[in-house]
Amino acid sequence: MLAELGVDIVKVDPPSAGDYTRCVERPLVDGVSIFHRHRERGKSRLGLGPAHVGGERVRSSGRPPGTSGARRCCRRDL
């Protein structure tokens, strides 16, 4: 809903796996579930793990999830 209103949504997933809903529901279209396409539409995906330079910093910040402004980081920092 927020993406439809023009908000830039960035979803952070493990770099190797992606979201589990990609193939969990049938029917699949081009190997991707329709449920996943509907749920993830309008979102950008960022694969991030502890091995990435910015990944360890974000993971170990110890703060609860929040805005990038509260964390004082943005996509280009990762």
In 3D space, the residue among 62, 12, 32, 9 whose CA is nearest the CA of residue 71 turns out to be 62
What was the pLDDT predicted at 70? 52
- Distance of alpha carbon 47 from alpha carbon 71, whole angstroms: 18
Give tens-digit pLDDT for 23-51: 666 777 777 777 777 777 777 777 766 66
Domain residue ranges of the chain, discontinuous segments joined by +? 3-72
Looking at the chain, which runs of residues are DSSP E strands? 9-13, 28-29, 32-33, 43-47
- Mean pLDDT in residue range 10-34: 70
